[in-house]
Chain A
Amino acid sequence: MGGEALSLERLAIRLGGVQILRDITLDVPAGSFTCLLGPSGCGKTTLLRAIAGFAPPSEGDIRIGGRSIAALPPEKRETAMVFQSYALWPHMSVGGNLAYPLKLRRVPKREREEQVARILDLLDLPGFADRPLASLSGGQRQRVALGRALIIDPPILLLDEPLSNLDAAIRRNLRSELRSLQQKVGITTIMVTHDQEEALSMADTIVLMRAGQIVQVATPEELFTRPADLSAGRFLGIDNLIRGRAGDPLPGAEGATLGFRSAEARIAAAPPAGALARHGTVVDCAYAGGGYQIRLDTGGESVSALSDTALAPGTAALAAVPAAAVMAFGADEALLPH
């Protein structure tokens, strides 16, 4: 098994007179794990469906390993997709579901059975071939859906929010399982998700999308620490936005919008050296497990920070954030260079 590179060139999609995607250009290296991340309605699922052949592009090209697949019907594209609803066939057993793609490729019966057994072992579901689907749990169904996609040894694996229907605990387990399986098989994988935690923990590269366009293509670390603009930052959990003042320990901070995450801000007695600090009065104090989430009014602005002790509303306090955790955005909302 192994993956092939995928490239999208100036791809645009119109559906029912509405421009869903515009000017999407993206190179996905062979064997990599790429996440399409964005709020709902941003076009990420449409992009995945366009690669699979279910949303015809109005412009642009889609290439797998150098050959164009944009004009091919879905059944000729050899891109294996795992659907959010699993889309297993209820009239077939587990083995029947897994063997069907092989049957379509005229693989002889004996070989089909061997492959089904092999893939069930890989998915940690040995001996499940004859089970009816109804007897499987959500997590097991998800694995069967994944196995059905992997069994044809596709050049590209497309995952459409594959974990979103599962419980939080199963989701965390399957996340690492899916990631290690992908690395073991070495298949080029593109996953759609709206869950930033999922994208950050699984992907080699994250493609951040908004309103039908790509906003940023970056590694998880880069995306988390250097989001391209203010709204990307907000989507990635930046919940404090304040106006920069003269004397703030960041170059060009004055007049810029400074953003940081509450989890990085602390209530402190005195400002640590080189930290961004704001004095204010406590407006709100809520227990947040292991500490308190404090909201301060800092003269017309609101700042959230963590504190080890509870503070009564009305108390004067100081919130401090290490300068490295603060991002400065310019008037056009783009991230300013460090």
Chain B
Amino acid sequence: MTSIPDRAAAPPAPRAPLFRGSGMGLLLVAPALAAIALLYALPLVRSVVFAFVAEEGGFTLDHLRTAFELYGRDVVFSILVALASLALIAISSIAIGGYLTLGATPWAVSALRWLYRWPLFIPFIVAGQTARTFLAKNGLMNGLLMESGLLDPLSAQSFLDWRGLVLTFAWKQIPFVTLLLAGAMASIDRSSVEAARNLGAGRFRCLIQILLPQVKGTLLVGLILSLVQIMSVLSVPMMVIAGNPTMMTAMMAHRVTYYGDYPVANALGLFSYLLTAVAAWLYLRMTLRDEASR
């Protein structure tokens, strides 16, 4: 009789790890880390630091003060335009997403599904140009209104001010937020909406009280990403708005191209960071609270 080798007595030696210690692992991620550090983190830190460095060296708050004195109105204007745009984006994308999910007329739903994405593929600069020709005093919108007799030619006015900015930003960002939102709404169990309707909720209530609370997080992500876009797009304010006040981006570009004044431009940039950081913090706080309550 042959004896069976005693496996318990001689366990197989554990396989040696491919990379020992953390040195090798670090080496593997080094190229990616270096790219992030050099191309993203360093310029960011530099621009923040230079907002606080005086010409002759040393720490100063002068640039911040100058930025605020000269462009305080633009900062407030930017914040208000951003908030108005986000409100319009939120309302429109909830309405479109809701109709795509709950709509009862199949052809209208498919037509809307086909139409709403188009602005996604149009660059901001083209959107700005289109808005300019559409919203100007002698633009397409007023022309159409006058032709149809809805508008008296004497009372025609230009929309190329904060309203033009809000409309253009919203037009460009609504499809993006709707894309996220409609996807999230479609992934919700259909029977959870049917249960609400069955128990007496109309379509609008289903949207606001059943669907929306379940996709709140996605909506916030869409709005925060839109805020970052609105705070960073230069072409739209350049195209749409002529005078003061205008968006911070336009003022930053102005400061750099006309005066070569990087420190004040950096100080303005700092306001943008702070604004988006506040939005991101609000979002994180909300998601953490939601997760804790689950």
Point out residues on A near B: beta carbons under 8 Å. 52-54, 73-75, 77-81, 83-85, 87-91, 100-101, 104-105, 132, 134, 145, 148-149, 152
Chain B's interface: helix, strand, loop or mixed, by majority?
helix
Interface string of B160-196 (1 = CB under 8 A from A): 0000000000000000000000000000010110111
Contact A152 B200 (CB under 8 A): yes
Contact B200 A134 (CB under 8 A): no
Q: How far is the CA of A7 from the CA of B213 in the complex (A)?
A: 38
B46 at the A interface (CB under 8 A): no
20 interchain pairs, CB-CB under 8 A: A52-B198, A74-B197, A75-B197, A75-B200, A75-B201, A79-B198, A80-B198, A81-B194, A83-B195, A87-B189, A87-B191, A88-B195, A89-B214, A100-B196, A104-B199, A104-B201, A134-B294, A145-B195, A149-B199, A152-B200
Task: Tell me which residues across on chain A come within 8 A of B209, comparing CB atoms.
Answer: 100
Task: Tell me which residues across on chain A come within 8 A of B197, comparing CB atoms.
Answer: 53, 73-75
Neighbour of A91 across the interface among B200, B201, B202, B213, CB < 8 A = B213
Q: How far is the CA of A52 from the CA of B195 in the complex (A)?
A: 10
B293 at the A interface (CB under 8 A): yes
B280 to chain A, nearest CB (A): 23
In the complex, what residue of chain B is closest to A91 when comparing beta carbons? B213
Point out residues on B near A: beta carbons under 8 Å. 189, 191-192, 194-202, 205, 209-210, 213-214, 293-294
Task: Tell me which residues across on chain A come within 8 A of B200, comparing CB atoms.
Answer: 75, 78, 101, 104-105, 152
In the complex, what residue of chain A is closest to B216 when comparing beta carbons? A91
Q: How far is the CA of A7 from the CA of B200 in the complex (A)?
A: 22
A102 to chain B, nearest CB (A): 9
Task: Tell me which residues across on chain A come within 8 A of B195, comparing CB atoms.
Answer: 81, 83, 87-89, 145, 148
5 more contacts with CB within 8 A, not counting A100-B201, A148-B195, are A75-B197, A75-B201, A79-B198, A81-B198, A87-B195
Task: Tell me which residues across on chain A come within 8 A of B293, comparing CB atoms.
Answer: 132
Contact B196 A54 (CB under 8 A): no
Q: How far is the CA of A77 from the CA of B194 in the complex (A)?
A: 13
Q: How far is the CA of A307 from the CA of B196 in the complex (A)?
A: 54
B224 to chain A, nearest CB (A): 20
Given contacts A91-B213, A91-B214, A132-B293, contact A75 B202 (CB under 8 A): yes
Neighbour of B192 across the interface among A80, A89, A105, CB < 8 A = A89
In the complex, what residue of chain B is closest to A52 when comparing beta carbons? B198
In the complex, what residue of chain A is closest to B193 when comparing beta carbons? A87
Task: Tell me which residues across on chain B come within 8 A of A53, comparing CB atoms.
Answer: 197-198
B143 to chain A, nearest CB (A): 42
Task: Tell me which residues across on chain A come within 8 A of B198, comparing CB atoms.
Answer: 52-54, 74-75, 77, 79-81
Task: Tell me which residues across on chain B come within 8 A of A145, comparing CB atoms.
Answer: 195
Return the 10 tightest CB-CB contacts between A and B, nearest first. A87-B195, A87-B191, A101-B199, A91-B213, A104-B200, A83-B191, A74-B197, A81-B198, A87-B192, A75-B197
Contact A74 B194 (CB under 8 A): yes
Task: Tell me which residues across on chain B come within 8 A of A80, comparing CB atoms.
Answer: 198-199
Contact B294 A148 (CB under 8 A): no
Neighbour of A100 across the interface among B194, B199, B214, B294, CB < 8 A = B199
In the complex, what residue of chain A is closest to B197 when comparing beta carbons? A74
Q: How far is the CA of A89 from the CA of B206 in the complex (A)?
A: 11
